[in-house]
Amino acid sequence: MARRRAAVRTDSLSLASLRAAYSQPVSVVLSRAQMARVRRSAATIDRMIARGGAVYGVNTGFGLLAQTRIPTDQLSALQRNLVLSHSAGVGALLSDAVVRLVLVLKIGSLAQGFSGVRPQTLLALARLLETETYPCIPSKGSVGASGDLAPLAHLAAALLGVGEVRAAGRVLPAAEGLRRIGLQPLDLAPKEGLALLNGTQVSTALALAGLFAIQDVFGAALVTGALSVDALKGSDVPFDDRIHVLRRQPGQRRVARALKRLLAGSRIRASHLTCERVQDPYSLRCQPQVMGACLDVIESAGQTLAREANAVTDNPLVFASDDEVLSGGNFHAEPVALAADQLALAVAEIGSLSERRTALLIDPKMSGLPAFLVKESGVNSGFMVAQVTAAALVAENKTLAVPASVDSIPTSAGQEDHVSMATHGARRLLEMAANAASVVAIELLAAAQGIEFHRPLTSSRPLEAALKTLRRTVPPYDRDRFFAPDIAAATALVSSGQLAELVEI
């Protein structure tokens, strides 16, 4: 039986629908109105060619060669040559999940009817998506201006039967992949190669993938942060709403409320309400200020990426209703580059704060718990090197967080003299999110250990639920054992989004 796929509406792509497309196979819905606009756009290109006027990339060369006119009988060859020559990517292949997002974004952009492609070209892309036949796209080679030229050229090459595709985990020659799903290699019409290559879809897909991973890590870090507060017998007073109203930062107030809810009803907290400690370290006390700032940045970047996902970003653009073709620069991925840099900074800070709490938990002078969170420390080293691993990952993320958007190297003989560097700026986000997920996972293990040293006292209902979920796969650390599987299991839990679901924010 064929697997049912979620259907994604391409006329209005939401972050929720894009997350679904990233996490599972999907098909797309193309309305009659969209297909009518696509036909009108393609007809406009045909009329422009018949009139004999110069239209960039349709009957002229590209970049520095834009002044070169191309004879009518070579227009199809111009588009094919563009795809083949620009298929210059290198490096590891993008994952199926990212390529799936790229396809959804490219289909959504072309379906708006401003790109001059024919309906059959759009439907060929949709066929690749619905049959899970994913073009093999190298991850490196784009500077994020004039579109993601090299990676999108590899996508377009697959439609020509050139290059390779991946289907059910197998890499096949593109021509064979097309044959298996009932497609013939495309002969590109004027403008089609350029429309397929121009655009920010690869940068945007990579940034969206990073966003989704960072959102899951963020939610998990709120849970582990609350667990650490309880394990360290910290105070929930710093989360009092009256404090945060005065700061006037919305994310800060929302995080404080979320932490307050996570800790509500904790018997551990009730056991030390009258203790003499005046203030907790910043990594406990200032979670609303730090994580709230991260939340505001994450949501702002998400809004930018949602707009970009629904944008038309190739060039030139076809305005069929005005019978005009206008050349501009919507392919410049600066909005994506800046959003990716913001996300990189946020996820670096999430991990940094989490690691500091782990450092508190393993230090008996600060925590009042057994040294390195293990009984009989000395013969057992406990969480000593787990914290070192967290520190190493935090340090790595600091270097990865250096902004990419401030760099620019001119390309195409100086014609493309300012570029965004959005593509690798976005690509690093998944690595950074994975690093941060492991940092938060180590805190989860450490905080759980700390909570259990306070038995028979219990934490709050949501935090005990988080602990129970962890203990399904990772038992308490009673003596030294091979530690890596524990961290791997906890990291999988953090990355799954299950802990984030416990957070009301």
The predicted structure's pLDDT at residue 1: 38
Please state, in angstroms and rounded to a whole number, the distance separating the CA atoms of residues 320 and 35: 13
> CB–CB of 365/316 below 8 Å?
no
Tokens of 326: 């206008």
Q: How far is CA 242 from the centre of its chain?
A: 34
Q: How far is CA 132 from the centre of its chain?
A: 20
The predicted structure's pLDDT at residue 275: 82
Tokens of 113: 């009817």
The predicted structure's pLDDT at residue 235: 96
How far lies 205's CA from each of 19, 21, 101, in Å? Answer: 10, 10, 6
Q: How far is CA 443 from the centre of its chain?
A: 23
Work out the mean pLDDT of the chain and round it to a whole number. Answer: 96
The predicted structure's pLDDT at residue 413: 81
Q: For residue 91, give the 3-state DSSP assignment.
A: strand
Q: What is the DSSP letter of 290?
A: H
Name the helix (H) or strand (E) containing 7.
strand 6-9
pLDDT digits (tens, 9 = 90+) for 253-306: 999 999 999 999 999 999 999 887 879 999 999 999 999 999 999 999 999 999
Mean pLDDT of 117-140: 98
pLDDT digits (tens, 9 = 90+) for 414-438: 888 899 999 999 999 999 999 999 9
Mean pLDDT of 355-380: 96
Whether 64 shows a pLDDT value over 80: the answer reads no
Residue whose structure tokens are 């670096």: 348
Residue whose structure tokens are 């497609």: 183
Give the least confident one: 66-70, 120-124, 310-314: 66-70
Q: Crossing angle, helix 484-496 and helix 461-471, to 10 degrees? A: 130
End-to-end CA distance of the chain: 40
Catalytic (active-site) positions: 56
Q: For residue 164, give the 3-state DSSP assignment.
A: strand
Please state, in angstroms and rounded to a whole number, the distance separating the CA atoms of residues 439 and 452: 20
Please state, in angstroms and rounded to a whole number, the distance separating the CA atoms of residues 79 and 484: 51
Please state, in angstroms and rounded to a whole number, the distance separating the CA atoms of residues 489 and 483: 10
How far lies 142's CA from each of 66, 185, 301, 334, 407, in Å? Answer: 21, 25, 21, 13, 13
Tokens of 162: 């050139």
Please state, in angstroms and rounded to a whole number, the distance separating the CA atoms of residues 240 and 233: 17
Give the least confident one: 3-17, 176-190, 298-312: 3-17
The predicted structure's pLDDT at residue 415: 81
How far lies 262's CA from each of 228, 292, 335, in Å? Answer: 12, 15, 35
What are the b/e assignments for 461-492, b being 16+ CB within 10 Å? ebbbbbbebbeeebeebeeeeebeebbeebbe
The predicted structure's pLDDT at residue 47: 94
Please state, in angstroms and rounded to a whole number, the distance separating the CA atoms of residues 405 and 6: 35
Peptide bond into 456 cis (omega under 30): yes
Please state, in angstroms and rounded to a whole number, the distance separating the CA atoms of residues 461 and 203: 41
Q: What is the DSSP letter of 199?
A: S
The predicted structure's pLDDT at residue 3: 61
Q: Which residues, 6+ apart, have CB-to-CB distance to 272 below 8 Å?
A: 233
pTM of the model: 0.96
Tokens of 394: 């935090």
pLDDT digits (tens, 9 = 90+) for 180-219: 999 999 999 999 999 999 999 999 999 999 999 999 999 9
The predicted structure's pLDDT at residue 486: 98
The predicted structure's pLDDT at residue 62: 79
pLDDT class for 96, splitting at 50, 70, 90? very high
The predicted structure's pLDDT at residue 369: 97
Q: What is the DSSP letter of 416?
A: B
The predicted structure's pLDDT at residue 296: 98
Residue whose structure tokens are 């490196």: 140
pLDDT digits (tens, 9 = 90+) for 388-424: 999 999 999 999 999 999 999 998 888 888 999 999 9
Tokens of 87: 């298929």
Whether 63 shows a pLDDT value over 80: the answer reads no
Q: Within 10 Å of residue 225's Cβ, how many Cβ atoms?
A: 27
pLDDT digits (tens, 9 = 90+) for 167-176: 999 999 999 9
Mean pLDDT of 431-452: 98
Please state, in angstroms and rounded to a whole number, the distance separating the CA atoms of residues 414 and 172: 37
Residue whose structure tokens are 């890499």: 171
